[in-house]
Each structure stands twice: as C-alpha cells, then as structure tokens.
With several copies, the nearest count.
Chain A
Amino acid sequence: MKRIYFDHSATTPVDREVAELMLEYMTDKYGNPSSVHAFGRETRKALEEAREKVAALINAAPNEIFFTSGGTEGDNLALKGVAYANRKKGNHIITTAIEHHAILHTCEYLEKQGFSVTYLPVDENAMIRMEDLKNAITDQTILISVMFANNEVGTIQPIKEIGQLAKEKGIYFHTDAVQAAGNYPIDVKELNIDLLTMSGHKFHASKGIGALYIRRGVRVEEIQHGGGHERNLRAGTENVPGIVGLGKAAEIAKRDMEEKVTYIQGLRDKIITTITEKVPHIKLNGHPESRMPGNVNFSFLYIEGESLLLNLDMKGIAASSGSACTSGSLDPSHVLLAMGLPHEVAHGSLRVTLGRGNTEEEVDYFLGIVPEIVEKLRSMSPLYGS
C-alpha cells in the first residue's frame, strides 16, 4: 500500500542531502571540535559554518546561535535561563494557554521555584489579544514567551506587535518557533525577538538537534553543566553530524522558502475548500488567514478523532488529532479547549500538516476517502441524527 505522510507538524523526513552530509560527518569527519588536531579543526570549521547558515535563516548573527538537542531543550534553556539570570529584576513571566508542553510544563516548574506566571487566554481562532498582554505586564515582568505558530491549529501570533511592545517596556521576548522556523519566513531583527527556539526535525534536519537564538546582550544562565561548550551556555560534546545537518537544512529552507510556502499553501487551501464543500457538520479550527501554510485542522462533529485516524491509517494516510484518546490522557487538546471548543467537538478533530514532499495526487486521494470515512463513523455514532 502507498503510504501518505500528512503529519509534518509532528516530524519531517530528513532531506536526502542533509542525511548524506551527516553520514560523512559520522564515518569520515568524526573529530571532536574541542580537539586541537586536524580531525578536530575540520569539525570545528564545519560547526561554525553551520552556525552561520542557521543564523542566516532568521537574520541573526552567528554568535547569537546556540545549538541544543531540540525544541524542548531550547524552550527549557530560554525560560529557565532567562528566569534564573534575571531573578533580581523580577519574578513574573507571561505566556499563553496554548503553548506546547515544553513551555507549559517548564512554566509550571518555574512557578514551584517562586516565579509567577500569567497564561494569556486566546480567542476562538487561537489568537492572543494585545490588550490582554498589555494588561498582564507588571513591574516584575522579566519575560514574555509567546509561540510563533501553534502546532495544532497553525495560528500565527502577532509576533511583530509583541516584539514592539516588549522592546518598549524593556522586557525580554522569547518565541517558541519550533513550528515556524524553516517553514515560514522569520527575521528576528525586524520582529524584535530576543530569544527564539527552533528544532531541526520540523524542517527536514534530524531529530535530536535544535538551536536557540539569543540576541547579543540578553542574560541567560546555563542549565546543563559541564565542559565549556557553546561559549559556556550549553555543555556537552557538540552533536556535529546533527549540527552540520541543521546548517544544511537551514540553507535549503532559506533558499526554497518562497516557493515552498506557495506550493504547500496551495495544497492546504484545496483541502480546506473541498472538505468545507463536501462534508457537512464541520468546523475549521485555527485562524482563517494568519495560519501556517501547511496546517489544516477540522472538527468533524459527532465522531471521535482516534477512530478517524485509524481509518485513515488503514488507507495508508498518516495524520493526527487533538483527541485525548490518541494520547492516552483523559483531556482532549488543551489548545482546542482554550479556544472554547466543547469537549465532544475537540474530540472529533483531525490535523493534516503538509510538507513539500506531498503531491496534488495525494491530496486528491485523501479528499476522495474522507467523506466516506466520516459518513461511516457518523452512522455508528449515538450522537448523530438522533
């Protein structure tokens, strides 16, 4: 059976070119960048070239890029690092109710350490309101952390306005750009971003590698202790193959950005339009315009997300859902609930996230079978037609 991958927000395939470069830095150019000999100098050079490429992707300077083991570590380092280093200035952090768990659980941990955290609510499109943000700021506020784009419903936040406000107030602004980096144009200078988290496996580099951008001058305390790697901010032998791969993926992402965004958005809009036409009793989740190019998220009323996923899976299609039943937890997606969706509607959500490898043909196949599957599940549902 043909397999169709529609789950690019969960993870992406590594680019062939990236993977082959990584292989070279595993079997041939394997020196430790801390070593003074030829093997070490060779990888040190590659490391710094990768740093330049990652910096270029978001218009940062190379020395503002710090490599991490992924998005989760980046988020932990940004929040804890800023909180600990700036404790004397204040103990208040502002974030949103719809962040990824890497942010939310880190904030909960910081609350136990004596910090106070405001979780901004969102509107029905998963957007924060600038008014709420302004009202939340106190003289104790040291950090605002608002995600660039939401991983479930794709809503892109008003990053530029937030950056502007944070700058005026002299508060650091961190954004979890794990979904956006490499998939959407970002200019940290123009957007006034102080810290930005990215993760390689969301844009065709490998799992287990990421980067944190820290604007020059921002005070951050290290959270992983050891050798003085990454200018004393992140100890541990550098993951050279991962880093070199991240550099290459960043280079490709920057080069192809415009074309990729247009192409993926075309597929996305075809899915949204067709489903809206063909399937009754549905709701598009997320913002209609300010939305990631590859994100489709629908609630299909009267049916449950996991059953929908399993049926798609049996037809070779890999997608995802905000249903609690897929995660083993009891509550459905905190994002859908924060947007005000009732439990049973949140349960019936389906997320399709597209990548540059997807084709029109795949989209058509999907659009052909979804109405049938939805119909079949509804016919079993005690909520439907009664």
Chain B
Amino acid sequence: MYNEKVMDHFSNPRNVGEIKDANGIGEVGNSKCGDIMRIYLQVEDDIIKDVKFKTFGCGAAIATSSMVTEMVKGKRLDEALEISNQAVAEALGGLPPAKMHCSNLAADALHEAIKDYIAKKGK
C-alpha cells in the first residue's frame, strides 16, 4: 500500500514531539476522517530553527507530518510557505490515491503555524 519511503517516515518519524516555548503553533484536522495534526515552530530571524509535530492519524498522516518537518527545518518562512501538500506527497515518492485528500494535510498545518507566528509577532 505505502512505498518504502513512506514506511520509513512512518516507522521512524522525524521530529516528533512538542516545543515548549514554540513561537508558532498550527493545527489542522479532517473532521470527517478524524485525523489531527499539530506543528510547533521555533522561528528566529524568519528562519525555522526548530520544528516538531504531533499527529493522530493513519500511516500517511504520520509520514507526511514527519516529511514536512524535514523539508522546512532551516528554511526561511517565505520558502516554507511555498511548500504545498502536493510537494510533500511527492517528496515521499507518492501516496495511495485514497489517502491524497484525506491525510495529506501536513503543509496546511505548517502554514497555520507560520500564520500563527506572524500573527503573534504582529502584536
């Protein structure tokens, strides 16, 4: 069902956990399917210094969460905002068609976290 890369990220997820003093947190959920993703960011000078996630969901949900954290660590915010759900799926070498809509939400969670950071900074 899942390719090797997806299974690798699923079984050894990168950057699992919380950041205590995160300055950006984003959460998305697919209320129908029930999965929830939360991304924690530590941003300095518009650079993502650290990122962690927590996810309730299927194999694809966990793998995409893990993948997106790898993709953005060390990146500038504007670069990170350009990453789409599609790009995350591609970086994983593809997902089963049934999973594309339902659990491919990691980039959305990331964007929410960035928005949260920007909103907090603006205050």
Enumerate chain A interface residues (CB-CB to B < 8 A). 36, 41, 302-304, 306-307, 310-311, 314, 323-326, 328, 330-332, 343-344, 347, 379-383
Residue of A nearest to B37 (CB): A382
Tally B residues with Cβ within 8 Å of A: 31
The tally of CB-CB contacts under 8 A between chains A and B is 74
Measured in the bound complex, the distance between the Cα atoms of B11 and A355 in whole Å is 29
A381-B55 in contact (CB<8A): yes
Residue of B nearest to A330 (CB): B32
Contacts of B7 in A (CB 8 A): 310, 314
Shortest 4 CB-CB distances between A and B: which pairs?
A328-B98, A325-B58, A306-B58, A382-B54
Instruction: Known A325-B33, A330-B33, A331-B32; judge A379-B56 contact (CB<8 A).
Output: no
B34-A307 in contact (CB<8A): no
Contacts of B61 in A (CB 8 A): 304, 307, 325
**Sampled A-B contacts (24; CB under 8 Å):** A36-B1, A304-B58, A304-B61, A306-B58, A307-B58, A307-B59, A310-B10, A314-B7, A314-B11, A324-B33, A324-B34, A325-B35, A325-B60, A325-B61, A325-B103, A330-B33, A331-B32, A344-B56, A379-B17, A380-B16, A380-B54, A380-B55, A381-B54, A382-B37
Q: A302: shortest Cβ distance to chain B, in Å? A: 7
Contacts of A328 in B (CB 8 A): 96, 98-99
Measured in the bound complex, the distance between the Cα atoms of B78 and A161 in whole Å is 64
Contacts of A324 in B (CB 8 A): 33-34
Partner of B36, one of A314, A323, A325, A382: A382
Tell yes or no: B111 within 8 A of A by CB.
no
Tell yes or no: B112 within 8 A of A by CB.
no
Contacts of B98 in A (CB 8 A): 328
Partner of B13, one of A41, A314, A347, A380: A380
Measured in the bound complex, the distance between the Cα atoms of B36 and A303 in whole Å is 11
Interface string of B31-52 (1 = CB under 8 A from A): 0111111100000000000000
Q: A59: shortest Cβ distance to chain B, in Å? A: 27
Contacts of B34 in A (CB 8 A): 304, 324, 332, 343-344, 347
Residue of A nearest to B55 (CB): A380
In the complex, chain B residues 63-110 whose Cβ is within 8 Å of any chain A Cβ:
96, 98-99, 102-103
B62-A325 in contact (CB<8A): no
A303-B59 in contact (CB<8A): no
Residue of B nearest to A305 (CB): B58
A302-B56 in contact (CB<8A): yes
Known contacts A302-B56, A380-B55; 14 additional CB pairs below 8 A are A41-B1, A307-B10, A310-B7, A324-B33, A325-B33, A325-B58, A326-B58, A330-B32, A331-B32, A379-B16, A379-B17, A380-B13, A382-B38, A382-B54
Measured in the bound complex, the distance between the Cα atoms of B56 and A344 in whole Å is 9
Contacts of B60 in A (CB 8 A): 325
Contacts of B57 in A (CB 8 A): 304, 306-307, 325
Measured in the bound complex, the distance between the Cα atoms of B98 and A136 in whole Å is 38
Partner of A323, one of B16, B32, B58: B58
Contacts of B33 in A (CB 8 A): 324-325, 330
Contacts of A332 in B (CB 8 A): 34
Partner of B59, one of A302, A310, A381: A310
Measured in the bound complex, the distance between the Cα atoms of B59 and A328 in whole Å is 12
Measured in the bound complex, the distance between the Cα atoms of B37 and A302 in whole Å is 13
Q: A343: shortest Cβ distance to chain B, in Å? A: 5
Measured in the bound complex, the distance between the Cα atoms of B36 and A302 in whole Å is 11
Measured in the bound complex, the distance between the Cα atoms of B34 and A330 in whole Å is 9
Residue of B nearest to A332 (CB): B34
A381-B56 in contact (CB<8A): yes
Measured in the bound complex, the distance between the Cα atoms of B36 and A41 in whole Å is 27
